[in-house]
Amino acid sequence: MMLRLKNTEVPKGIIDAVLDTDTYNEVDDQFALAYMLKSKERFDVKAVYAAPFYNAYSQSPKDGMEKSYAEILNILNLAGEKTQVYKGSDIYLKDEKTPVVSDAALDLVERAKNYSDEKPLYVVAIGAITNVASAILLEPKIIDKIVVVWLGGHAHHYRHTMEFNMKQDIAAARVVLRSGVSFVQLPCRGVVDRFYLSRIEVEYYFKGKGALADYLCDYTVKHISEEYGKKDWTKIIWDVVAVAYLLNDNDRFMLSRLIPAKIPSYENAYVDIENAPIIRYVYAIIDHDAILEDLVKKITE
């Protein structure tokens, strides 16, 4: 138990990691994937999993996953990086006992077998957590071999839990949070929403700085300008913060603490449960500028 809790701390040195991402959902996943790939002082990225999503950018969870898979390959090509990429679930969990079998879930089960509580595999999840929950349901023993860092849910003091990643698959969130796996939660509203970029910043820092940076700039400006219906804007770049947590040496970016897990209900509220697992909860971003500086340096160098 103590080792599981210790594993939620910011690691030292290079770690093996996988990223679970709904990459085509917005514009922030692309930045997060690029940031992780370029942070070679910390990450050996073993695989990337495409997660399902359903919103204006997709026709169904399956379509969202397929588009995310294609976008992962696109970012890898622009970054000049190679790693294994797997398609994930094409639906959400039907209940808290039935996994969705996918290439991503099966890979996580098999890959985790090569790790231990002394040398875990880090799973950075920045979408609906269906793939991770399915892997745990397929093989519960992997909770001793992985650390899950999830951007999902809102802050515990927020008025509801209807955050995009959490509300897409509440059953999956409940499975993972109740499993006892080493778990780090990065809440969206009330914490992560402090990390944002303006159009001026995006163009200033990324335009003309290489193929990857140019793509991130042009894609972000086009999509957000169209979505917001105006030329000037600021946009929260949520998913970058999940990657930044594992780069958070000496609390340089954010603060966290150990707390009993709060479980999302199907009525869009957090509830306390008896004997709740202890998780690490990020409760404050303390240096927006430091995260931005590190992100820009790595993507444009």
The CATH number covering residue 267 comes to: 3.90.245.10
DSSP letters of 187-225?
A: -TTTTGGG-EEEHHHHHHHHTTS-HHHHHHHHHHHHHHH
pLDDT tier at 4, thresholds 50, 70, 90: confident
Residue 220 within any structural domain of the chain: no
| Crossing angle of helices 199-206 and 211-228, rounded to 10° | 170
pLDDT band of 184, cuts 50, 70, 90: very high
pLDDT average, residue stretch 208-214? 97
> How far is residue 106 CA from its own chain's centroid?
19
2: pLDDT strictly greater than 80: no
For residue 209, being part of any structural domain is answered with: no
Report the number of distinct structural domains present in the chain: 1
The pTM for the full model equals: 0.97
Domain that holds residue 286: 2-195+237-300
Within a domain: 189: yes
pLDDT tens by residue, 159-181: 999 999 999 999 999 999 999 99
The predicted-structure confidence for 108-138, as pLDDT tens digits, reads as follows 999 999 999 999 999 999 999 999 999 999 9
Residue 103 lies inside a defined structural domain of this protein: yes
Using pLDDT thresholds of 50, 70 and 90, give the confidence band for residue 34.
very high
Is residue 102 predicted with pLDDT exceeding 70? yes
Any domain includes 45: yes
- Per-residue confidence band for 1, with pLDDT thresholds at 50, 70 and 90: low
In a domain, 133, yes or no: yes
Q: Quick check: is 211 in a domain?
A: no
Whether residue 253 lies inside any domain: the answer is yes
Tens digit of pLDDT for each residue in 228-277?
999 999 999 999 999 999 999 999 999 999 999 999 999 999 999 999 99
Tell me if 191 sits within 8 A of 284, measured CB to CB: yes
Average pLDDT of every residue of the chain? 97
HEC string of 256-277?
A: EEEEECCEECCCCCEECCCCCC
